[in-house]
């Protein structure tokens, strides 16, 4: 059996070392070139072993700190560089959404081509976006591709208007018309074939298509903008109507239900008039006066347009959720003073049978007329 003898030697204390000296304990704070050159130092104190490893010179230590801080601020400096690059040319106009070079005024705001296309696609497709960063993103040239929700919100905030976006179907018709004109500029002078004559007769037999053909390009664009305004606002109204349907019928009396529907229709009317093309250019007092005068008139007209001649009742709501009111139910809901005038106007409109486009144009005319048509004797106020 072999035995080994271990001899312990007491080490002398390092000169100038104290237990609470951080400069001797922290390996990142070397105080001399000798300590900086050591790769491993063991010190016995209070039955514990403290090790210094990978000591680096003072100059290399500061270089490492600078590199780490540069990596931490990489995302912040990226966005600031984007802003700095756009403002390099003095007097250059910038996009109010992302700060890129602006190409002009699009949909009532100064924007670049990228934000213009993004806004048009979002409106025509009725896109719904979600933010992953708490809906507080600072939109710039970098973040505009990261958060579509906040980008669309900023587009709305700076004044871009959804009703100015021409529907995709209208754009397609324009493109096809231009292509036909370029391919055959003398098409109008050529004699049509029998098949084309039959097709023309079929098109002219449709009254709405005939009106479209007789209208100028500016008039067709105006009609498209008014229809787009109505469609966009109808989305919020349909969601509110769906919320009313979710409640049990017992939760609502006939008066409460009709009151809810009337309030929704009044709010929809207010938004529709406010977002009509050209309405925002008026003076504030004029806008307030037109809203006050026309809101009740338009609301009365819309209520009468929901009249069903077969069942002799008003069908309120929308296509998915409808609420029927005959004369008796309409009076029981507290509308006795107005029932006679509403149903009388409804029967007169049923004889005319206007379509949706004609109704929207009539409402726009009433909104800008600034006078009451006295379709009813009581004064409705909201």
55 pLDDT above the threshold of 50: no
275-331: pLDDT as tens digits = 888 888 888 898 888 888 888 888 888 888 888 888 888 888 776 777 788 888 878
Q: What is the average pLDDT across 161-188?
A: 69
Which residues have a Cβ under 8 Å from the Cβ of 226 and sit 6 or more positions away? Answer: 163, 276, 277, 360, 361, 364
CB-based contact 267:274 (threshold 8 Å): no
20-34, 111-125, 208-222: the lowest-pLDDT one: 20-34
What pLDDT shows up at residue 187?
Answer: 45
What pLDDT shows up at residue 344?
Answer: 84
Better-predicted residue by pLDDT, 41 or 64: 64
φ, ψ (nearest 5 deg) of residue 111 = -140, 170
- Tell me how crowded residue 307 is: count the other CB atoms within 10 A of its CB: 19
Give the chain's domains with CATH numbers: 9-72 (no CATH), 76-160 (3.30.50.10), 245-369 (1.10.565.10)
Better-predicted residue by pLDDT, 265 or 89: 265
Residue 247 to residue 354: CA distance in whole angstroms: 33
What pLDDT shows up at residue 61?
Answer: 47
Residue 51 to residue 48: CA distance in whole angstroms: 10
Helix (H, G, I), strand (E, B) or coil at 180: helix
Residue 269 to residue 295: CA distance in whole angstroms: 6
273 pLDDT above the threshold of 60: yes
Task: At 229, list the tokens.
Answer: 């305004």
Do β-strands 40-45 and 48-53 pair in parallel, antiparallel, or remain unpaired?
antiparallel
Task: Please classify residue 147 by burial: count the beta carbons closer than 10 Å to its beta carbon, then call 0-12 exposed, 13-18 middle and 19+ buried.
Answer: buried
What pLDDT shows up at residue 118?
Answer: 93
- Tell me how crowded residue 267 is: count the other CB atoms within 10 A of its CB: 16
CA distances from 341 to 42, 246, 301, 363 (A): 101, 31, 11, 18
Q: What is the average pLDDT across 155-176?
A: 78
CA count, 13 A, side-chain hemisphere, 294: 24
What pLDDT shows up at residue 41?
Answer: 38
How much is the pTM?
0.44
- Helix locations, the chain, DSSP H: 22-25, 33-37, 58-72, 74-86, 113-124, 148-157, 168-183, 194-205, 207-214, 217-246, 254-274, 284-305, 327-330, 336-352, 356-369
230-239: pLDDT as tens digits = 887 777 677 6
Better-predicted residue by pLDDT, 13 or 271: 271
52 pLDDT above the threshold of 50: no
Confidence of residue 81 (pLDDT cuts 50, 70, 90): very low
Q: What percent of the chain has pLDDT over 70?
A: 58
Query: Can you name the residues that pair with 104 across neighbouring β-strands?
Result: 111
Task: Please classify residue 87 by burial: count the beta carbons closer than 10 Å to its beta carbon, then call 0-12 exposed, 13-18 middle and 19+ buried.
Answer: exposed
Confidence of residue 90 (pLDDT cuts 50, 70, 90): low
| DSSP for residue 140 | S
Residue 107 to residue 316: CA distance in whole angstroms: 33
Q: What is the average pLDDT across 147-176?
A: 82
């Amino acid at each position: 059996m072999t035995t080994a003898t271990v001899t312990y030697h007491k080490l002398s204390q390092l000169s100038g070392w104290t237990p609470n000296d951080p400069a001797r304990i922290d390996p990142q704070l070397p105080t001399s070139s000798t300590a900086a050159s050591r790769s491993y130092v063991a010190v016995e104190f209070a039955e514990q072993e403290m090790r210094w490893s990978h000591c680096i010179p003072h100059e290399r230590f500061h270089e490492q700190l600078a590199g780490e801080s540069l990596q931490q601020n990489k995302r912040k400096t990226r966005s600031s560089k984007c802003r700095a690059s756009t403002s390099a040319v003095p007097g250059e106009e910038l996009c109010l959404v992302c700060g890129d070079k602006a190409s002009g005024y699009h949909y009532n705001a100064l924007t670049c081509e990228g934000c213009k296309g993004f806004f048009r696609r979002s409106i025509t497709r009725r896109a719904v976006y979600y933010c992953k960063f708490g809906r507080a993103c600072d939109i710039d040239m970098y973040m505009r591709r990261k958060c579509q929700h906040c980008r669309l919100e900023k587009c709305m905030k700076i004044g871009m208007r959804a009703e100015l976006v021409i529907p995709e179907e209208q754009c397609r018709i324009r493109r096809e018309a231009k292509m036909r004109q370029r391919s055959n500029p003398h098409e109008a002078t050529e004699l049509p074939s029998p098949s084309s004559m039959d097709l023309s007769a079929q098109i002219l037999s449709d009254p709405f298509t005939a009106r479209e053909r007789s209208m100028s390009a500016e008039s067709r664009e105006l009609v498209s903008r008014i229809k787009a305004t109505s469609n966009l606002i109808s989305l919020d109204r349909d969601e509110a109507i769906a919320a009313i349907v979710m409640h049990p019928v017992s939760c609502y009396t006939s008066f409460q239900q009709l009151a809810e529907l009337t309030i929704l229709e009044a709010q929809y009317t207010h938004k529709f008039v406010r977002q009509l093309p050209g309405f925002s250019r008026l003076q504030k007092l004029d806008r307030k006066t037109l809203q006050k005068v026309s809101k009740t008139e338009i609301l009365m007209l819309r209520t009468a347009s929901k009249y069903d001649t077969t069942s002799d009742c008003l069908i309120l709501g929308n296509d998915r959720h409808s609420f029927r009111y005959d004369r008796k139910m309409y009076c029981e809901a507290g509308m006795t003073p107005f029932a006679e005038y509403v149903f009388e106007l409804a029967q007169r409109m049923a004889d005319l049978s206007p379509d949706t486009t004609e109704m929207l144009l009539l409402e726009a005319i009433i909104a800008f007329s600034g006078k009451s048509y006295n379709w009813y004797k009581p004064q409705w106020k909201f």
